[in-house]
Chain A
């Protein structure tokens, strides 16, 4: 179907005269101190603090739990580096300014938001899958909970750093941010996790990514939306 938007001009504007008639402007509202947001540079500093604190948390927590030193190169690439890289890319996209300064376009955002977890799961399934369903279910439950706990602080920090900054697309940006943090956390989790079976990584490290995406869409988007 071809849409010619020039046709729109044929619809008269009912409020043209009334809405555009010169009118006295109401006085400039004087905002209280709470109502004045941070300047651009202050916001940048806040983001840097949140990113550094989040990264430190992700590095230190598995350090306390213990890192594995016997991870084969293939698993290091597919279970650790790949999700971390995908998550970082999604995070950059979620908070990029876009052409109009209103955030990324919907298409690339949704494409990466959907593709990144799917690529991670597919890559995980490319590694050996030997565990039984019951083993995978139990280990996925435990590992997934730990991953959620690992990711919550960075996600909270991100929401704090970005609060009241999303003027458009807050919902889908929140989903992508949540999923992105989940992917990065999944990478760090794999450095510690004793289960390297493909099924376990795909589901045990995969479901928290989906859950964090949902959390991002429901909670983070409310915090980051300009309100």
Chain B
């Protein structure tokens, strides 16, 4: 994963070489962005199985668009932009086919919260409940708010990068993320009194 600047620079350079025609460099790119893109697609699709398929499609599109990777650009925003297009296309196809909505509450294989040997049973239950509430609230957000929020909060991108990926202004990204935050805050706020009452 491209977690450190050095790893990021190495991945950028690998993509640069791939864009120039060095096919062997794509293995480095694949390795570098796999986990980040999977996490993003999983958050957007809310299904690990679907995220896996969308990820494969993202890599195929990266192959197709390799020549458009600009020398000196950073790999991650470029990949996120492609992954976002894949999500949008999938949503459109689903709407056209009028398929059932894919998600954890519609029968798709949802994420299971991992449990560790040291995990406290009550804490785990509470964390799982909280996660479910946030996940449901996120799913109810308008798509543009959700993607802005996910990119900024969970993927840790800068506002400028998120704006470039979403093809909008930095102000619009901030506003969308803030609206998402307010909606989520309201949901969590309504949860807090219940928790206090229960304890």
Contacts and interface: CB of A to CB of B under 8 A. Distances in A.
A218 to B, nearest CB: 15
A14 interface: yes
A181 B157 CA distance: 35
A37 B65 CA distance: 6
Contact of A20 (B35, B149, B165, B181): B35
B134 A28 contact: no
A22 B114 CA distance: 11
Contacts of A99: 160, 164
Chain A interface mostly:
loop
B169 A106 contact: yes
A11 interface: yes
B116 to A, nearest CB: 9
A8 B177 contact: yes
Interface stretch (A150-158, A160-168, A190-198): A160-168
Contacts of B85: 167, 225-227
A72 interface: no
A40 B19 contact: yes
B155 to A, nearest CB: 10
A100 to B, nearest CB: 4
Chain A contact-residue range equals 35 or more
B181 A172 contact: no
A148 B199 CA distance: 72
Nearest to A162: B68
Nearest to B66: A37
Nearest to B161: A100
A211 interface: no
A15 B114 contact: no
B131 A15 contact: yes
A101 B30 contact: no
A70 interface: no
Contact of A15 (B61, B74, B111, B160): B111
A170 B164 CA distance: 12
Interface of A: 3, 5, 7-23, 25-26, 28-29, 31, 35-43, 97-103, 105-107, 164-172, 225-227
